[in-house]
Amino acid sequence: MVGQVIFILILGFAIYLFTKNAGKIRRNILLGKDTDRSDRPGLRWKTMAAVALGQTKMVKRPVAAVMHFFIYIGFIIINLEVLEIMIDGIFGSHRVFSKYLGGLYGLLIGGFEVLAVLVLTACVVFLARRNILRLKRFSGTEMKQWPKSDANYILCIEILLMTAFLTMNAADYKLQLLHFGHYIKAGSFPVSRLVAPLLPDSGSALEMIERGCWWFHIIGILAFLNYLPYSKHFHILLAFPNTYYSNLKPKGQFTNMASVTNEVKAMLDPAFVPEANGEIARFGAKDATDLTWKNLMEAYTCTECGRCTSVCPANITGKLLSPRKIMMDTRDRITEIGQHIDRHGKEYTDDKTLLDNYITREELWACTTCNACVEACPVNINPLEIITEMRRYVVMEESQAPASLNNMFGNVENNGAPWKYSAADRLNWANPS
């Protein structure tokens, strides 16, 4: 009973803490402006099934796709075993599902063990790719300190959890052979039985190993759950809603700004009165709260995989722009705003903005708006939307566009085209000399 009470308390605290931190992220996302992503639900479900569940955009890099698939499937299926562990922890039972699943239970446990080995293999490969091969896309000015360590931490945690799972099963297997205590004959152990000879033959020692690994495994999973809100690995949960709410319009299609539309209507019709919502209209985005909730959800969904930056022509040619950094900066800024709300209330301002304090103007104007980053993202994140909204602010609110663009703006205004020639001279090129 003591063990059950301790387990229930740990479980309850872990769920409470995760709910609290996940709630803060939800609050931060909803600080963004409203946008309607409810159209064409059938296509949205299809997109989510293909991109988030089917991982169709991962296959462009086959090695990473296969390794990630092992971890992904292992994460989903092995959680069935975690459900059994939780039930056993609450009610003091042992391998409770074996009573109801019969021979299928052995097949499931055997499958879990095979998946655990695949997850271990994938984690080792990913660690080697990051720390031995040092693939270029895992580096960059933004991939320092915590972002760099985060991936290594999570891979090491997964290796420890899978090792504890297999060691627990190995000890359980030997205890079953010894008919020790309550360890009934249940399960098939194609992998852990190979590890079993390395364990002691004493029943009491095996029980200590089995119980120790059991507690380490389940507490480790609960700790991992509460690590997610602080990590890029929160994409495990957000990838599904993020792909469901994907932008279904053609890539690169600009939205009409309501504030601009109202200005034009007012000029065309002096009697037009825009709806008052109590807010001063802003053209574009200066801070994270000027972006939409979908932009902020994407910032929290970013896996920092670097696929966007690795295909960005501006970054490839040495420009300062990194689409991955745009998403990471947006996430850091909206998290900072949320922390200020927690400490000082909603009215507090820190005199910082996403523009200039996080993202420089040089980064914004380096973008060619080619949509390569949008196409490359495995979970349909769109850094270009953030870049263009901030550009809109710089141009329409501050009139701080680069000189080359200002020349183009002047030509459009005076000549009706980006070129310096008047409309009457446009066809001169066709006249014989």
pLDDT at 98: 85
State mean pLDDT over 12-25: 96
Q: Which whole number is the average pLDDT over 23-45? A: 95
Strongest mean pLDDT among 57-61, 70-74, 79-83 = 57-61
d(CA 220, CA 168): 14
Which residue in 165, 266, 271 sits closest to 220, CA to CA? 165
Which of 265-279, 359-373, 407-421: highest mean pLDDT? 359-373
Q: Residues 6 or more apart from 361 whose CB is under 8 A from it?
A: 355, 394, 400
Count other C-beta atoms under 10 Å from residue 355's C-beta.
22
Q: In the predicted model, what is the mean pLDDT of residues 164-180?
A: 91
Give residue-wise pLDDT tens across range 271-321: 887 776 656 667 899 999 999 999 999 999 999 999 999 999 999 999 999
Residues 300 and 245: their CA atoms lie apart, in Å, by 14
φ/ψ of residue 359, rounded to 5: -110, 125
B/e letters for 386-417, b = 16+ CB within 10 Å, e = fewer, are: bbbbbbbbbbbeeeebeeeeeebeebeeebee
- C-alpha distances (whole Å) from 433 to each of 426, 428, 429 are 15, 10, 9
Average pLDDT over residues 320-342: 96
Question: What is the tally of helices (H) and strands (E) in the chain?
Answer: 19, 0
Q: From residue 180, how far is each of 63, 171, 202, 206, 224 by CA, in Å? A: 44, 11, 10, 10, 32
Q: What is the mean pLDDT of the chain?
A: 90
CA atoms of 372 and 390, how far apart (whole Å): 19
Q: What is the pLDDT of residue 28?
A: 97
Q: What is the pLDDT of residues 183-228, one digit of tens each?
A: 888 888 899 989 899 999 899 999 999 999 999 999 999 999 999 9
